[in-house]
Structure 1
Amino acid sequence: MLKTRRARWITVAVVAGTAAVAGPVVVAQADIEPRTGCTDSVNADVPGGLAHWTAKCSGDEIVVQGWVKDTRIDGKCAQIKAFMDDKWHYSDKACPEDQVEHFKFTDSGRTADVYLINK
């Protein structure tokens, strides 16, 4: 199953007394449906990053592998983080712009919460 995910931006207006900040202020980035199962293939993008990963299971283990790419000159790095078997796994950071890093995570279980981040 191929999934495509886009990040949603959560915005707020800051009010101090009677003056409000013009325009939205980005306070958090929320990935939609981060859970990856045994047969998933995912394309993900956030401002400044692209990624693709697949997941496969063998016995009681899940393997998540793919690539992450930095797409902006913004001083930030694109990276994959995955929560598997009660611990975090991190890819190498992809930066500067156009840098691609490949990753492979293996752990116990049959699901993983996988996120593309840009920080």
Structure 2
Amino acid sequence: MSTAAVVVTVLAALMAGFSGASVFFRAAFVVQPLAEYGVPRAAWNWLGAAKTAGALGLVVGFWVPVIGTLAAIGLVLYFAGAVITVIRARAYGHAPFPLIYMAPAVAALALTR
């Protein structure tokens, strides 16, 4: 695995892990928009768990590459869903935020293939 792939994968894992932890700790900058978008509170822990699992999967992927690939795909799909949720809520100015988190997952996927 190239140095670039390792750096991008670690960055993607850190960003997804931070995002997942932000949901678990109910950081206002994360949960306030979720409420505004109409995401039910009952789903918040599941969303945090999905991001955290993706982050862990990326790290495990260093030893079991198929897990890393699946985790990257899962994170890309997760953040694509987040973009769709933001657009459906007509919060167009917020659409770049999930894309910022998606970008390193896409790059990790591309560099590790």
TM-score bracket, normalised by the shorter chain, equals under 0.3
Q: Which has the higher strand share?
A: 1
Larger radius of gyration: 1
Structure with higher RCO (Cα < 8 A, 6+ apart):
2
TM-score by length of 1: 0.27
- Greater helix proportion: 2
Question: Given the two structures, how large is their TM-score scaled by the length of structure 2?
Answer: 0.28
